[in-house]
Amino acid sequence: MSSIPEDLKYTKESEWIRMDDEFNATCGITDHAQEMLTDIVFVELPEDGIEVRQGEQVGVVESVKAVSNIYTPVSGLISAVNKSLEDSPELMNADPYGDGWLFKIEVKNPGELDSLLSDKQYRDHVESGG
């Protein structure tokens, strides 16, 4: 079974978000998502400094097997992107919750976190074929 850390929130599309402090968060794709994609060969990251809305497509991950859209778990301002993924997209396979993070966001409405899945809800979603 894929790793599903308890301290994160999840989307049904398999993105995760970790609150770094009250209004700043780090986002990426889950261990389950990288397992489904297999060998990731390319990532298109959002622009640093753009304003995004919850659920908006902000990038693309390409693997030898599939192309998958990346959606933002919450609304806010993209405050940083993981530039090391441009040369080493395989970091998403090796360490999806660490070095393989995608972007950081200044969270506009922390209440949106309530609409995301807990680790248990995400596990149930994955196990049910979601």
Half-sphere exposure of 10 (CA within 13 A, CB side): 25
Query: Alpha helix locations (H) across the chain?
Result: 31-37, 84-87, 91-94, 119-127
pLDDT of residue 1: 62
> In this predicted model, what pLDDT tens digit does every residue of 95-104 receive, in sequence order?
999 999 999 9
> In this predicted model, what pLDDT tens digit does every residue of 80-126 receive, in sequence order?
999 999 999 999 999 999 999 999 999 999 999 999 999 999 999 99
Instruction: Report the 10 Å Cβ neighbour count for 101.
Output: 22
Residue 76 φ then ψ, to 5°: 160, -160
Residue whose entry in the numeric block shows the structure tokens 């489904």? 36
